[in-house]
Structure 1
Amino acid sequence: MTVLSVVQAASMVLGLTSPSTVFASTDRQWTEMQAVVNEAAATIADAFDWQRLLRTHTITGNGTADAFDLPSDFRRMKMDGALWSSRVRDNIIHLADADDWLALDTRPVVPHNGVWCLFGDQLHIRPVMSSSETARFFYVKNTIVSGNKTAFTDDTDTFVLDERLLKLCTIYLWKQAKQQDFTAELSDYEILLAQLMRRDRGSLSIVSGNTCRARGNTWPGKVSDAP
């Protein structure tokens, strides 16, 4: 379903005349709709760590650099995301407050696992990674529209996430912008959002092969007969 189709469906609910074009229109109503549908797409993208938007990125140390550029399609870090180093078993400690990072410059000791912080559109890591060390993390990409685009710009564009959710979000955001009662529309959006969030990662477990087996702990290796 194209973004034009989404807007046409939303317009029927909103009592608007169904448009033949949105992004090619200079009419104020539809230029407003352009902003609303793009805001709806961004709202959905930031509501959850959708598996379709997740990517991994690897940083390789060189023995001198402590700041690294973020991926070109970086939108944000995964919620409660971690940075994992090949040097240590546990994840590197995240300093969410930039002042904590600044304070680290005056301290002679860095935690063994290391620390990281985001600022200046770069990821900063201490201690400096050696040339044999790598660090990996999940991030959410910013290309949420077909054609690796960050926003809708054409009527034929499509949303990479659920289009029905996009329609419901567009409806409630439009009514909110027009200072109309949007309570029911927001509820509809939130119900579907919760359903899609539960479905997004699939089943909690996957069972393969013979399922008629005893339950309990498992361990590697072979169990020998008792003597």
Structure 2
Amino acid sequence: MTLLTAINQVCDVVSLSPFDNVYGSAEPNAMTMVALAQEAGDEIARRADWQKTLRQHRVAVASENLPDDFQRLTPGGSVRTAEKAFVRPVTNGGQWAVIAGMPSMQPYFFIRAGQVQFSPASAAQGAVIDYVSKNWVLHDPDGPQATFTADDDTTLFPERLLLKGIVWRWKRQKGLAYEDNLAEFEADLAQEINADRGAG
């Protein structure tokens, strides 16, 4: 299902005529649908660590920029040394100043201003960071990206969620009853998250 086919399926539900194209269209309903699709997709991507958005980054130096597509760390043990030892996170700048000034045998990391920093510095060499990419739109031939840029773009999460996410947003925007559609979206989202984790 592409952006265009998803939006045209929404049109069937909300009694609009289908579109020949939506991305870049000056037709107000098409523009609204694309905006709602982006909003829905951003939410769906944030609500789970979808398998197809999981990435790894190998570190070379003690203070290194995070990848451009970095959104967040995966939960639990997301940073490991080359020797497979977990690196403990530090989330407070004051604590980091103390830890960085008095390196220990226990490796630590701290994320600030788009950089990951390690203490001791030797822990960084070959360390691996597991993270969730912010890129959930698949755009051929360029690969994953964070926004829709064409009618034939697809998603890296189950595409029916995009359809359901647009429907309830459209109805809410038009002042129509949307609560049932929202409840259906939430139920399907929970089911798809479990399935993606292998628990469905």
Structure 1 length-normalised TM = 0.76
Point out the structure with the larger strand share.
2
Per-residue CA deviation, residues 49-100 of structure 1 (Å, 9 max, x unaligned), is 1111111111124xxxx311112332322234521113573x1111233454
Q: In the alignment, is the contact (CA less than 8 A) between 2:81 and 2:123 conserved in 1? A: no
RMSD: 2.4
Q: Does 1:127 align with 2:114?
A: no
Residue in structure 1 matched with residue 50 of structure 2 by the alignment: 50
Stretch deviating more after TM superposition (71-80 or 136-145): 71-80
Task: Work out the CA distance in 1 between the residues paired with 2:121 and 2:152.
Answer: 47
Question: What is the rounded CA distance, in whole Å, between the counterparts of 2:177 and 2:118 in structure 1?
Answer: 48
Q: Secondary structure at the match of 1:68?
A: strand
Deviates more, 1:188-197 or 1:25-34: 25-34
Alignment of 1:165-204 (within 5 A): 165-202=161-198
Cα deviation, 1:6-39, whole Å, max 9, x if unaligned, reads 0011122223332222113112222122111011
SS in 1 for 2:154: coil
- In structure 2, what is the equivalent of residue 32 of structure 1? 32
**Unmatched tracts of structure 1, length 5 or more:** 205-227
Give the distance between the partners of 1:174 and 1:112, measured in 2 at CA: 55
Displacement of 1:189 after TM fit?
0.9
Q: Percent identity, aligned pairs only?
A: 27
Deviations 1:75-133 (A, max 9, x none): 322234521113573x111123345434546xx534532221222111111221268x3
CA contact (8 A) 2:72 2:133 kept: yes
1:77 aligns with 2:73: yes
- Matched residue, 2:11: 11
Give the 3 Å change call, closer, same or farther, for CA 60–165 of structure 1 in structure 2: same
Q: Does the 8 A contact of 2:108 with 2:118 survive in 1?
A: yes
The CA distance in 2 between the partners of 1:130 and 1:112, in whole Å, is: 9
**Offset at 1:3?**
0.7
**Structure-1 separation of matches of 2:181 and 2:88:** 41
| Length, aligned pairs only | 196
Cα deviation, 1:152-192, whole Å, max 9, x if unaligned, reads: 11111112221111101111222334444321111111111
Match for residue 92 of structure 1?
87
Q: Which residue number corresponds to residue 142 of structure 1?
A: 134
Name the amino acid aligned to 2:126: T
Distance 1:17 1:79 in 2: 44
Any stretches of 5+ residues in structure 2 without a counterpart? none
Instruction: Decide whether aligned partners of structure 1 residues 170 and 67 sit closer, same or farther in structure 2, where only a CA change above 3 A counts.
Output: same
Distance in 2, matches of 1:172 and 1:80, equals 33
When normalised by structure 2's length, the TM-score is 0.85
Do the aligned residues in 2 keep the contact of 1:146 with 1:160 (CA within 8 Å)? yes
